[in-house]
Amino acid sequence: MEDCIFCKIVKGEIPCFKVYEDERVLAFEDINPISKGHTLLIPKAHAANLQEISDDDLAAVHLASKKVIRAIQEVLHPTGVAALQLNGKGANQVVMHYHLHLVPRLPGGPPLPVSAWELQPGDMETIKRTAEKISGAMVK
């Protein structure tokens, strides 16, 4: 897609710090890292989000993330790595080309903002009704 910054990275029109590439996937460092080693994995084919990405590209991105997380583990020894993927402006997706974030938390580093929400018990009746609605809308 012409105006997509990540498509431009795939085409080499914008540089990136590449860490991995295969036929379907490109992985590179985020230029506004939440922590050292913050890496993005994208399909080379443009798809805006989880709703649009093809099954094969989705599988390829997530299989590649296993390779990248292993390498991050080896060189940075994080105490944990958040895998995060946003869909839509309301969820704070800024770049509308599917991407999976791998965000390592390094030893002694601060808690990751993306995983530090407080747990509040929900209303079981509401949760049950919502689950019924979603499961009723599932397409097999």
For ligand 5GP, the binding residues (CB under 6 A) are 5, 14, 16, 28, 30-32, 86, 92-95
Which residues make Cβ contacts (< 8 Å) with residue 55, sequence separation at least 6?
none
Does residue 7 touch Zn ion according to CB under 5 A?
yes
Does residue 46 touch Zn ion according to CB under 5 A?
yes
61 to 120, contacts with Zn ion by CB under 5 A?
A: 97
Name which of 19, 6, 10, 7 is nearest 67 in CA terms.
19
Residue 135 partner contact from Zn ion, ligand 5GP, none using kind-dependent CB cut-offs of 5 to 8 Å: none
- The residue whose Cβ lies closest to ligand 5GP is 32
Q: Tell me the three-class secondary structure of 86-139, residue by residue.
A: CCCHHHCCCCCCCCEEEEEECCCCCCCHHHCCCCCCCCHHHHHHHHHHHHHHCC
CA gap 76, 108 in Å, rounded:
12
Q: Which is nearer to Zn ion, 12 or 107 (CB)?
A: 12
Does residue 6 touch Zn ion according to CB under 5 A?
yes
Catalytic site residues? 99
**Contact residues for Zn ion, defined by CB under 5 A:** 1, 4, 6-7, 46, 97
